[in-house]
């Protein structure tokens, strides 16, 4: 997988998605996809969709909504020319009654006509700009999944959806913290600036070396742990809501869209969405 990952770091968005769709690549997406928006995923039965949309609207920092499908339609017309959500994410989590039941790489066998797809911006999006500024990110250099933690920061409930904010962590050299914070603030649809940096205990993280999702990452002397709101937050809320079925991305394994990362210089112009008329 390391060789494939290294090749994909220089590949086009379309080439990356083709590798994912074919099943050739099932790994994390940090550092690949170039200057495009990456997205977290939540797929729910239509009966839960309105409450979940309210949850996102009330919690825009961890849940920046960037796309919503028509009911039963797996094609995300507004995010890419050919995105099929059933095949274009490297790995999916399937929750049943709020419990993680399985990890799969293709949704075609379990797709339902009442599913609604929600795409939420991801902090992987701003990492390209951080790297361009000459700041290394340990998880990309070491081909691991960024560490993620549940916090003591409460989200605003909506219907059955509620729970803690989840954050992702990156250790940044002390003298570059302000620069990284400013870079990430330029990407509001990818969680924007950090919610905290410094002592993890202040946001309820007891052990920085034991993430709830992802892989551990070191915080060497001379660096500061920085924490960003994370699109895994809905997974904590889904565990509380207990819908009969819900599908999310496996943390770290994102949908790579055709939308420019800053959403100001469009590299993709969606065609008119079919109406079925």
Q: Tell me the pLDDT tens digit for each residue of 205-215.
A: 999 999 999 99
Q: What is the pLDDT of residues 31-72, one digit of tens each?
A: 777 778 889 999 999 999 999 999 999 999 999 999 999 999
Question: Phi/psi of residue 83, each to 5°?
Answer: -70, 125
Full set of structural domains in the chain with CATH: 2-121+237-260 (3.40.1640.10), 124-229 (3.30.2040.10)
| Residue 48 CB neighbour total at 10 angstroms | 22
DSSP 8-class letter at 188: G
Name which residue leads in pLDDT, 137 or 161. 161
The two tokens of residue 161 are 């959806």
Q: Which residues pair with 168 in a beta bridge?
A: 148, 228
User: Taking residues 9-14, what's their average pLDDT?
Assistant: 78
What are the CA-CA distances from residue 106 to residues 32, 110, 143, 200 (Å)?
Answer: 20, 9, 23, 36
CA separation for the pair 30, 217 (Å, rounded) = 14
Q: What pLDDT shows up at residue 132?
A: 86
Residue 277 has pLDDT above 70, yes or no: no
Q: What is the pTM of this model?
A: 0.86
CA separation for the pair 255, 146 (Å, rounded) = 16
What are the CA-CA distances from residue 198 to residues 3, 195, 203, 242 (Å)?
Answer: 35, 11, 10, 34
Q: Which residues pair with 229 in a beta bridge?
A: 167
């Amino acid at each position: 997988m390391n060789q494939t990952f290294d090749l994909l770091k220089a590949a086009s968005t379309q080439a990356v998605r083709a590798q994912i769709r074919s099943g050739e690549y099932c790994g994390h997406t940090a550092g690949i996809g170039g200057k495009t928006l990456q997205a977290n995923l939540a797929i729910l039965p239509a009966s839960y969709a309105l409450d979940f949309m309210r949850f996102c609207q009330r919690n825009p920092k961890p849940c920046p909504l960037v796309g919503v499908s028509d009911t039963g339609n797996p094609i995300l017309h507004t995010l890419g020319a050919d995105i099929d959500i059933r095949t274009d994410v490297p790995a999916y989590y399937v929750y049943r009654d709020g419990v993680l039941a399985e990890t799969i790489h293709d949704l075609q066998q379990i797709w339902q006509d009442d599913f609604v797809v929600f795409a939420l911006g991801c902090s992987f999006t701003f990492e390209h700009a951080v790297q361009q500024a000459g700041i290394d990110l340990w998880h990309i250099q070491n081909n691991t999944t960024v560490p993620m933690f549940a916090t003591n920061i409460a989200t605003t409930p909506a219907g059955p959806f509620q729970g803690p904010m989840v954050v992702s962590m990156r250790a940044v050299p002390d003298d570059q913290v302000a620069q990284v914070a400013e870079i990430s603030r330029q990407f509001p649809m990818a969680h924007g600036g950090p919610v905290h940096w410094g002592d993890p205990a202040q946001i309820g993280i007891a052990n920085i070396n034991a993430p709830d999702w992802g892989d551990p990452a070191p915080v060497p002397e001379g660096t500061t742990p920085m924490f960003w709101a994370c699109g895994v937050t809905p997974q904590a809320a889904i565990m509380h809501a207990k819908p009969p079925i819900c599908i999310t991305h496996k943390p770290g394994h994102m949908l790579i869209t055709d939308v420019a990362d800053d959403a100001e210089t469009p590299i993709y112009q969606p065609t008119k969405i079919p109406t079925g008329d």
